[in-house]
Amino acid sequence: MTAWDPARYLQYADERGRPFVDLVARVDADAPGRVVDLGCGPGNLTSLLADRWPEAAVVGIDSSAEMIAAATDDRIEWRVQDLRAWIDSGETADVVVSNATLQWVPGHLELLPALIARTSWLAFQVPGNFGEPSHTIRAELAAGPDYAPYLAGIEVPSSHDPAVYLETLADAGAQVDAWETTYLHVLTGPDPVFTWVSATGARPTLAALPDELRPRFEAEYKERLRAAYPERGGRVILPFRRIFCVARRAER
pLDDT of the chain along its 252 residues, tens only? 555 454 554 556 678 888 999 999 999 999 999 999 999 998 999 999 999 999 999 999 999 999 899 999 999 999 999 999 999 999 999 999 999 999 999 999 999 999 999 999 999 999 999 999 999 999 999 999 999 999 988 888 899 999 999 999 999 999 999 999 999 999 999 999 999 998 888 888 999 999 999 999 999 999 999 999 999 999 999 999 999 999 999 764
Residue 237, CA distances (Å) to 19, 22, 126, 194, 221 in order = 17, 20, 20, 13, 17
Question: In a 3-state reduction of DSSP, which class is residue 94?
Answer: strand
Distance separating alpha carbons of residues 161 and 174, to the nearest angstrom: 18
Q: What is the pLDDT of residue 12?
A: 60
Q: What is the pLDDT of residue 155?
A: 83
Distance separating alpha carbons of residues 65 and 157, to the nearest angstrom: 20
Q: What is the pLDDT of residue 4?
A: 47
pTM: 0.91
> Which domains, ranges and CATH numbers included, belong to the chain?
6-249 (3.40.50.150)
Q: What is the pLDDT of residue 3?
A: 55
Beta partners for residue 187, in sequence order: 236
Distance separating alpha carbons of residues 92 and 13, to the nearest angstrom: 29
Vertex 46: Cα angle to 176 and 154 (nearest 5): 80
Distance separating alpha carbons of residues 107 and 128, to the nearest angstrom: 16
Q: What is the pLDDT of residue 203?
A: 87
